[in-house]
A and B are shown apart, each in its own frame.
Chain A
Amino acid sequence: MNILELKNISMIYGSVRALDDVSLSVGQGEWLAIMGPSGSGKTTMMNIIGCMDRPTAGSVLLEGEELSGLSPSSLTAIRREKVGLIFQQFHLISYLTALENVMVAQYYHSMIDEREALGALERVGLKERAKHLPRQLSGGEQQRVCIARALINYPRLILADEPTGNLDEANEGIVMEIFRRLHGEGSTIIVVTHDPEVAEEAQRIVFLEHGRIANVVRRDA
């Protein structure tokens, strides 16, 4: 069963076709990597999958629900309910502790549950660092807080943008181990990356070029 379906989507900015008639399906529990050079349309595709933008043409179905005709506020609601976002630059709120940064996602979602937020930090091995501010955490730890924040509302889809782009090798290993565990638990993960080693962890790698799918590699086949 597919959790996400992109059907003939195009995104046109003036005379630029950022995405050109792209179709893609992502199965429930699948780990997909999207690769491509700068300007290939990766970010545009991330925005559309993450409910942050609507395609100029084509349709997007997330768990069978058509997204392309929805208003920005409806897209926000779906993003809040179904998508967990992980960023290359972590984007933690500097004046909140690790625990509070996780709780911010709860705050915008529904109710704040400190025990549950602490549990999410425990899953990424940061329970002991819960009361630390972002500046007191290493890059790897900040990325793990970002992952805990993405997981706290039980998203149907985890969308990661260069999740190891700002990490050293050791921290990259820790983060990828968390991804492997999440995948093992049945989470659907889409990772946008430049790093072939990160992409190779996925079951399927989609290569974008000039807004089109240039190649698809299945690693579990």
Chain B
Amino acid sequence: MTRRRMFFKMLTYSLLRRRSRMTVALLSVAIGATVLLGMAAVSYDIPRQMGREFRSYGANMIFVASGEEALLRVDAAQRAAALIPPDELIGLTPYRYGIVRVNMQGYTAVGTDFDQAAKTSPYWSIAGEYPKAGGEILIGADVAEFTKLAPGSSMTVTGRAEDGTRFRLDAKISGTVRTGSVEDGFIFMPMPTLESLMGSSGVAEVVEVSIAADETELKRIVSEISREVPEISPRLVKRVTQSETTVLSKLQALVFLVSLVVLVLTMICVATTMMTVVLERRKEIGLKKALGADNRRIAAEFLGEGLFLGSAGGALGAVFGYMFAQAISMNVFGRAVTIDWRLPLLAVLISIAVTIAACLLPVRRAMDVEPALVLRGE
């Protein structure tokens, strides 16, 4: 038998002889690691998960023409969009504005891409449907109320093109839109329709972009587009991005706090168990010291038990934590969580660190045991 084998034999017997206590400590570490990994995985994935949820509040970036230009070119916007990682780009909607009249009343006509608008502005409440053909339009709720027109009705829109010639469009109202904002006073039509009325194409006043990313990533994208596509001035919609950042940071702080509390509870449970074990083994510790064991050896035996509890509990917790994170993600966000391979490893390492830290006071107590107590027959 080697010294190492003797060490492991004593360690194994020590764990097995107090299996109920050790099981409680092991489960405590496992539960701690489960919550830690579950929370860390969700917290790590929250920006991705919540980012998509937040996209229902509208675009978080707009493109406008840089400098003194009033219009930006749509192909420049497409080049800028190519710089955004495809898995982060939710939608990109150009908007072009023109002045039109309906029954002598002036309105703002907006040409856009309705497929993209549905992605960047999913909060729009549509009665009827989006325009599908060139002769169809979508009117704001206020326009519908003022003109007393409803989906299915016809509307005549007149105005002047850029070259000053008059135009007239007899369109069918496919639906109405209500947002509670300025859109309620607009008349929306497909971009090609407005372009043909205005007599020019390929430009827009503004392009709204919806990107599933946190503020840091958005700032990086802004910086890259400004550098690579100078004719475009990308801007963050601060009311959206800052709300996202605030909510995410509060959520992550909550997750951190819960994890911290669970780790402290785990530490208390392990420390209590190990303290009880030290008290139960005082005579054995005294004997070993009487036989010549120094404090380093005594500490190694208890820390060895701590290492086992930490690594085994941590490994168990990593498995359960994965399942816990998936359960949270599926129930809260309705999709699977992506767990970085480093997180389970980190959970095991933190479990070991917490368990070893919890063992320090009991180990101190073990080192304080006097060898003389075996002579006193205590």
A positions within 8 Å CB-CB of B: 43, 46-47, 50, 52-53, 73, 76-77, 79-81, 85, 87-89, 91, 93, 95-96, 100, 103-105, 107-109, 111-112, 114, 149, 153, 161
B300 to chain A, nearest CB (A): 11
B297 to chain A, nearest CB (A): 6
- A108-B292 in contact (CB<8A): yes
**A interface secondary structure, majority:** helix
Q: Does B287 contact A (CB under 8 A)?
A: yes
Q: Does B96 contact A (CB under 8 A)?
A: no
Given contacts A87-B374, A105-B291, 19 further A-B contacts (CB under 8 A): A43-B372, A43-B376, A46-B375, A47-B372, A47-B375, A50-B290, A52-B370, A73-B295, A76-B292, A77-B292, A80-B294, A85-B290, A85-B375, A91-B287, A93-B10, A96-B9, A107-B6, A109-B292, A153-B292
Chain A residue contacts of B1, Cβ below 8 A:
100, 103, 112, 114
The CA-CA distance from A53 to B286 in the complex, in Å, is 13
Chain B residue contacts of A114, Cβ below 8 A:
1
Q: Does B289 contact A (CB under 8 A)?
A: yes
The CA-CA distance from A26 to B2 in the complex, in Å, is 37
- B291-A80 in contact (CB<8A): yes
Chain A residue contacts of B287, Cβ below 8 A:
91, 93
B positions within 8 Å CB-CB of A: 1-3, 6-7, 9-10, 13, 17, 283-284, 287-295, 297, 370-372, 374-377
A-B residue pairs, 10 tightest by C-beta: A80-B292, A95-B13, A52-B372, A108-B292, A108-B293, A47-B372, A91-B287, A52-B371, A107-B6, A105-B291
- A91-B292 in contact (CB<8A): no
The CA-CA distance from A52 to B292 in the complex, in Å, is 10
- A76-B289 in contact (CB<8A): yes
Chain A residue contacts of B292, Cβ below 8 A:
76-77, 79-81, 105, 108-109, 153
A132 to chain B, nearest CB (A): 16
The CA-CA distance from A73 to B3 in the complex, in Å, is 21
A202 to chain B, nearest CB (A): 19
The CA-CA distance from A105 to B293 in the complex, in Å, is 9
Chain B residue contacts of A76, Cβ below 8 A:
289, 292-295, 371
The CA-CA distance from A81 to B291 in the complex, in Å, is 10
- B284-A52 in contact (CB<8A): no
**Complex partner residue of A149 from B7, B9, B17, B291, CB under 8 angstroms:** B291
Chain B residue contacts of A108, Cβ below 8 A:
288, 291-293, 297
The CA-CA distance from A21 to B80 in the complex, in Å, is 95
Chain A residue contacts of B374, Cβ below 8 A:
85, 87, 89, 91
- B375-A43 in contact (CB<8A): yes
The CA-CA distance from A108 to B288 in the complex, in Å, is 8
- A88-B9 in contact (CB<8A): no
